Amino acid sequence: MIAHGGSPRDYFGEFKVPGPVVPLIAVPTTAGTGSEATPVAVVADSERILKVGIASPFLIPHTAICDPELTLTCPAGLTAIAGADALTHAIEALTALARPIDGQTTHEHVFVGKNALSDTYARQAISHITDGLARAVKSGDDMAARESVMLGALLAGMAFGVSGTAAAHALQYPVGAVTHTAHGAGVACLLPYVMHFNRSHAVKSMAEVAVAMGAAAGHDDAANAERAIAAVASLFGAIGIPRDLAALGLSENQQDWCAEQSMGAARLVKNNPRPLDVAAMRTIIGAAFAGRRDLLDADN
Ligand SMILES: [Fe+2]
């Protein structure tokens, strides 16, 4: 990108990369971001508190070499937060807003919106990550588990590269900035609360999450959506993800600022299945801070 002149700051946001970059060969050494298959790069801006995203179709790698052996040296904590990030990608992709497609879609949105193909990748990603993540965290030399998580992370990247991610990712940018915590820990801590907030607008896709996680029972979508949320919270608890934002290190008086700042990630906010505003973000943060999904019930 720098070959085109200017500073990386010129490229923050969507569609700012002016043309093709040199062919990119991505070799992931964690199983998490899915960057080997997405149009997104996230960079730290030394002049801002927040990390910033660069989203452009020109950033999709030409080749991805995904070798789970390269993750064998990841310690348990890193394995957990990277894998939790990948599961969050897949779930936010499957439950994202489906937007109408027209001739302008690919010019107006880097993330064109979920569709049948992204859903297929997302469901498979959820299944593989659910299968392998806890084992990979517990037994780092379990190659089958490592392989499942790496395949899941790649599939999740292929899903959210189309659909985009949503509220959990939008909220993590400011939460991560003020708590100085890892991206994966933040999005995963937030995800059960975001799912609870969104469930009335994504019942069917959230029931599909339960099916992919092996947590579904019967055919009642609303009940299975609840089971999906419980299964995600249980898996994340088992691998050591903080259960609430207070445990992540957020202070009570930082909640308003985080809610306001989260709306700045417009490319993510617009993908959320339930419309978001500052008040909605503040409601989610309040529940996530208190560790109480039931605080979102009145709102559903
Ligand atoms: Fe992420």
How many angstroms separate the alpha carbon of residue 247 from the centre of ligand 1?
Answer: 20
- Please give the pLDDT value at position 118: 97
- Please give the pLDDT value at position 163: 94
> Judging by beta carbons within 10 Å of its beta carbon (0-12, 13-18, 19+), is residue 98 exposed, middle or buried?
middle
> Is the confidence at residue 1, as pLDDT, over 80?
no
How many angstroms separate the alpha carbon of residue 81 from the centre of ligand 1?
Answer: 10
- Please give the pLDDT value at position 49: 67
Segment 14-36 shows an average pLDDT of: 93
Instruction: Tell me the two tokens of residue 165.
Output: 């991610």
> Is the confidence at residue 201, as pLDDT, over 50?
yes
How many angstroms separate the alpha carbon of residue 220 from the centre of ligand 1?
Answer: 30
Which residues line ion ligand 1, judged by CB < 5 Å? Answer: 85
Segment 255-283 shows an average pLDDT of: 94
Segment 61-87 shows an average pLDDT of: 98
> Is the confidence at residue 12, as pLDDT, over 50?
yes
Query: With contact defined as beta carbons under 8 Å apart, do 251 and 238 qualify?
Result: no
How many angstroms separate the alpha carbon of residue 134 from the centre of ligand 1?
Answer: 18
Binned at pLDDT 50, 70 and 90, residue 107 comes out as confident
> Is the confidence at residue 113, as pLDDT, over 70?
yes
How many angstroms separate the alpha carbon of residue 219 from the centre of ligand 1?
Answer: 31
> Is the confidence at residue 161, as pLDDT, over 60?
yes
Segment 5-24 shows an average pLDDT of: 80
> Is the confidence at residue 257, as pLDDT, over 70?
yes
How many angstroms separate the alpha carbon of residue 10 from the centre of ligand 1?
Answer: 22
> Is the confidence at residue 206, as pLDDT, over 50?
yes
- Cα torsion for 152, 158, 163, 164, to the nearest 10°? 80
How many angstroms separate the alpha carbon of residue 41 from the centre of ligand 1?
Answer: 11
How many angstroms separate the alpha carbon of residue 89 from the centre of ligand 1?
Answer: 6
- Please give the pLDDT value at position 217: 98
Rounded to whole angstroms, the Cα distance separating 196 from 142 reads 33
Query: With contact defined as beta carbons under 8 Å apart, do 129 and 152 qualify?
Result: yes
- Please give the pLDDT value at position 300: 62
How many angstroms separate the alpha carbon of residue 187 from the centre of ligand 1?
Answer: 7
Binned at pLDDT 50, 70 and 90, residue 16 comes out as confident
How many angstroms separate the alpha carbon of residue 177 from the centre of ligand 1?
Answer: 14
Kindly state the percentage of the chain with pLDDT values over 70. Answer: 95
How many angstroms separate the alpha carbon of residue 142 from the centre of ligand 1?
Answer: 24
6-15, 50-59, 60-69: which has the highest mean pLDDT?
Answer: 60-69
How many angstroms separate the alpha carbon of residue 9 from the centre of ligand 1?
Answer: 20
Instruction: Tell me the two tokens of residue 18.
Output: 């002016």
- Please give the pLDDT value at position 69: 98
How many angstroms separate the alpha carbon of residue 86 from the centre of ligand 1?
Answer: 7
Segment 260-265 shows an average pLDDT of: 92
Q: Which of 63-67, 143-147, 219-223, 267-271 has the lowest mean pLDDT?
A: 267-271
How many angstroms separate the alpha carbon of residue 80 from the centre of ligand 1?
Answer: 13
How many angstroms separate the alpha carbon of residue 172 from the centre of ligand 1?
Answer: 9
CATH code 1.20.1090.10 region(s) in the chain = 68-299
- Please give the pLDDT value at position 265: 85
How many angstroms separate the alpha carbon of residue 154 from the centre of ligand 1?
Answer: 12
Residue-averaged pLDDT of the chain: 93
How many angstroms separate the alpha carbon of residue 189 from the centre of ligand 1?
Answer: 12
> Is the confidence at residue 106, as pLDDT, over 80?
yes
- Please give the pLDDT value at position 2: 43
Q: In this structure, which topology does domain 68-299 adopt according to CATH? A: Dehydroquinate synthase-like, alpha domain (1.20.1090)
Rounded to whole angstroms, the Cα distance separating 134 from 214 reads 14
Query: With contact defined as beta carbons under 8 Å apart, do 41 and 35 qualify?
Result: yes
How many angstroms separate the alpha carbon of residue 298 from the centre of ligand 1?
Answer: 29
> Is the confidence at residue 50, as pLDDT, over 80?
no
Rounded to whole angstroms, the Cα distance separating 8 from 226 reads 42
